[in-house]
């Protein structure tokens, strides 16, 4: 990406630098034309001075700053660059979920339209706080966890640790954010660890079957969860994006009336395409068309019933991929619509329901279209499963399964028995599936799937 983006200096922390050195990548930077070197972002220490141009520069920073601003920086010294809306503002690299990352060229208009939308539909103030856990190198986190809150005067707290649920919940309790942007995987972990085991106890199931008692229990669970998230989360809600939310978890979230919503977008849109505030959100959807200046269509003869590719055009859409004309041309239709690569439906109220990725769709031997994400959603609900992928092979559909090590240990299942247990569970699951989408085999994975910075599985690595 350094070569493709024409970067001249890389500023990074010691952890990333250490990984680059261990992988023997650092020496390769010196071979790049005009590349100056690598600098530690925490203390401006030069770690690699590739062409000698960084000699003395860092040491002179403090001196130059003092000479230019002898009395410190004042309001009148601030002079932001001015440009029109069509100026290239950001080159943001895609996560690489389905292929190699590409540099998405976003203009000031794209960034501005997303920020304006958030300010109107999720207003905040200097009295509000937010906990930012999304990677700021990704456009979702960059715009909605950082740029938009700052334009409202909101106080942004950056969560720098690994987002383990226990640490995350502690930070949420301290920060008390007015909204919380995250990926479904983290919410699912919290629910599976803290909520669902309690609601699935035999005695609790009996109580939940009693109408009056059910309402009281759900209200108590809701209040406890909102307090866990800091107590202020009902203002903006829990906003999920980046992947589909597990159906079983969402049922519980809806039952207890948790203030959550699911949005949809992609880097190429800067990033938002669809959203609805939590009070109006339709379960299993990913919101409705968001920006007034953006149009969405489903490439299908019957968009409400027959899945088709989701396509978009408008103010927030990218200019193209940096130095990659071939990929740019392949991503737009002949009439100028961005091909998202996602298959979906749209109802009469413009609510969007994603079925899966076009590239992931499996065409069976008898001509049926199978969306693996829908089957994975069911597999992931099995008690011994942490995550899964469905892949098509000659003999049929195979489930690649990462087991839930805690659940396996708690159940006292030996490693050699795990395969048998999984196969029995999948046999029961197959009873719920149409003949053409039944799972014919499963493989137990030794390690979690490789993921992108936004925790999406790099599907292209698994066949």
| Percent over 70 (pLDDT), the chain | 98
Question: Mind listing the pLDDT tens digit for each residue in 437-453?
Answer: 999 999 999 999 998 87
The burial class, CB within 10 Å (0-12 / 13-18 / 19+), for 139 is buried
Which has the closest alpha carbon to 184: 228, 238, 233, 244? 244
Judge whether residue 66 has pLDDT over 70.
Answer: yes
Name the average pLDDT for the chain: 90
Task: Reduce the DSSP state of residue 166 to 3 states and report it.
Answer: helix
Judge whether residue 23 has pLDDT over 80.
Answer: no
Reported as type and span, the H/E element at residue 148 is helix 148-151
Task: Please tell me the distance from the alpha carbon of residue 107 to that of residue 94, in angstroms, as a whole number.
Answer: 16
The burial class, CB within 10 Å (0-12 / 13-18 / 19+), for 108 is middle
In this predicted structure, what is the pLDDT of residue 292? 81
| Percent over 90 (pLDDT), the chain | 62
Question: Mind listing the pLDDT tens digit for each residue in 158-183?
Answer: 998 888 888 999 999 999 999 999 99
How long a stretch of residues is the chain? 463
Give the confidence band of 404 by pLDDT, cuts at 50, 70, 90: very high
Q: ∠154-270-276 over CA atoms, to 5°? A: 70
Question: Mind listing the pLDDT tens digit for each residue in 110-161?
Answer: 999 999 999 999 999 999 999 999 988 889 999 999 999 999 999 999 998 8
Calculate helix-pair angle for 415-430, 372-379, nearest 10 degrees: 120
Domains, the chain, ordered by start: 2-79 (no CATH), 122-258 (3.40.50.980), 362-461 (3.30.300.30)
Question: Mind listing the pLDDT tens digit for each residue in 266-316?
Answer: 999 999 999 999 999 999 999 998 888 899 999 999 999 999 999 999 999
Judge whether residue 246 has pLDDT over 70.
Answer: yes
Task: Reduce the DSSP state of residue 30 to 3 states and report it.
Answer: coil
The burial class, CB within 10 Å (0-12 / 13-18 / 19+), for 439 is buried
Judge whether residue 389 has pLDDT over 90.
Answer: yes
**Assigned token pair, 12:** 């990074």
Chain centre distance of CA 178: 20
Instruction: Tell me the average pLDDT across 409-426.
Output: 92
Task: Check: CB of residue 75 under 8 Å from CB of residue 84.
Answer: no
In this predicted structure, what is the pLDDT of residue 291? 82
Characterize the bridge pairing of strands 396-403 and 439-444: parallel
Give the confidence band of 94 by pLDDT, cuts at 50, 70, 90: confident
Judge whether residue 332 has pLDDT over 70.
Answer: yes
In this predicted structure, what is the pLDDT of residue 399? 97
Judge whether residue 67 has pLDDT over 70.
Answer: yes
Task: Please tell me the distance from the alpha carbon of residue 299 to that of residue 106, in angstroms, as a whole number.
Answer: 25
Phi/psi region, residue 231 (left: phi>0; alpha: psi -120 to 50; beta: rest), is left
**Assigned token pair, 419:** 């395969």
Task: Reduce the DSSP state of residue 131 to 3 states and report it.
Answer: strand
Instruction: Tell me the average pLDDT across 353-368.
Output: 88
Give the confidence band of 12 by pLDDT, cuts at 50, 70, 90: confident
Alpha helices in 30-125 (DSSP H): 57-68, 108-121
Reported as type and span, the H/E element at residue 426 is helix 415-430
Instruction: Tell me the average pLDDT across 359-375.
Output: 88
Q: Would you tell me how many other CB atoms lie within 10 Å of the CB of residue 345?
A: 20
Which has the closest alpha carbon to 343: 314, 372, 320, 368? 372
Residue in the structure block whose two tokens are 């980046």? 242
Task: Please tell me the distance from the alpha carbon of residue 456 to that of residue 427, in angstroms, as a whole number.
Answer: 27
Give the confidence band of 41 by pLDDT, cuts at 50, 70, 90: confident
Chain centre distance of CA 53: 38
Task: Check: CB of residue 289 under 8 Å from CB of residue 273.
Answer: yes
In this predicted structure, what is the pLDDT of residue 149? 96
In this predicted structure, what is the pLDDT of residue 97? 56
**Assigned token pair, 114:** 């997303």
Give the confidence band of 18 by pLDDT, cuts at 50, 70, 90: confident
Q: Would you tell me how many other CB atoms lie within 10 Å of the CB of residue 215?
A: 12
């Amino acid at each position: 990406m350094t070569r493709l983006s024409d970067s001249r200096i890389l500023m990074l922390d010691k952890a990333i630098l250490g990984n680059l050195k261990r992988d023997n990548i650092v020496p390769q930077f010196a071979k790049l034309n005009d590349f100056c070197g690598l600098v530690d972002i925490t203390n401006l220490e030069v770690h690699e001075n590739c062409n000698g141009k960084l000699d003395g520069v860092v040491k002179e920073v403090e001196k130059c700053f003092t000479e230019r601003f002898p009395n410190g920086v004042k309001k009148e010294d601030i002079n932001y660059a001015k440009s029109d809306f069509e100026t290239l503002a950001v080159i943001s690299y895609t996560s690489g979920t389905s292929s190699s990352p590409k540099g998405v060229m976003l203009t000031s208009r794209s960034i501005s339209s997303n920020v304006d939308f958030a300010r109107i539909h999720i207003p905040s103030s200097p009295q509000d706080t937010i906990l930012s856990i999304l990677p700021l190198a990704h456009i979702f986190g960059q715009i909605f966890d950082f740029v938009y809150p700052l334009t409202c005067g909101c106080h942004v707290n950056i969560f720098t640790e690994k987002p383990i649920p226990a640490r995350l919940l502690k930070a949420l309790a301290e920060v008390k954010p007015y909204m919380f942007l995250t990926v479904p995987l983290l919410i699912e972990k919290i629910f599976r660890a803290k909520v669902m085991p309690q609601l699935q106890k035999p005695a609790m199931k009996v109580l939940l079957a009693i109408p009056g008692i059910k309402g009281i229990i759900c209200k108590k669970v809701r209040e406890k969860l909102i307090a866990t998230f800091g107590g202020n989360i009902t203002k903006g809600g829990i906003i999920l994006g980046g992947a589909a939310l597990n159906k079983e978890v969402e049922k519980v979230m809806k039952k207890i009336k948790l203030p959550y919503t699911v949005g949809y977008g992609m880097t190429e849109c800067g990033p938002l395409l669809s959203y609805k505030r939590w009070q109006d959100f339709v379960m299993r959807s990913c919101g409705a068309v968001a920006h007034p200046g953006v149009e969405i269509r489903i490439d299908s003869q019957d968009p409400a019933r027959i899945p088709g590719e989701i396509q978009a055009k408008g103010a927030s859409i990218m200019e193209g991929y940096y130095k990659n004309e071939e990929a740019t041309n392949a991503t737009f239709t002949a009439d100028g619509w961005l091909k998202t690569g996602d298959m979906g439906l749209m109802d009469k109220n413009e609510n969007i329901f994603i079925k899966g990725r076009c590239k992931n769709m499996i065409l069976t031997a008898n001509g049926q279209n199978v969306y693996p994400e829908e089957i994975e959603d069911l597999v992931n609900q099995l008690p011994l499963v942490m995550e899964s992928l469905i892949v098509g092979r000659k003999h049929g559909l195979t489930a690649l399964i990462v087991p839930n090590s805690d659940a396996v240990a708690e159940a006292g299942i030996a490693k050699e028995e795990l395969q048998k247990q999984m196969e029995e569970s999948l046999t029961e699951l197959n009873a719920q599936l149409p003949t053409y989408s039944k799972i014919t085999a499963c493989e137990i994975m030794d390690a979690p799937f490789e993921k992108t910075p936004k925790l999406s599985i790099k599907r292209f690595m698994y066949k």
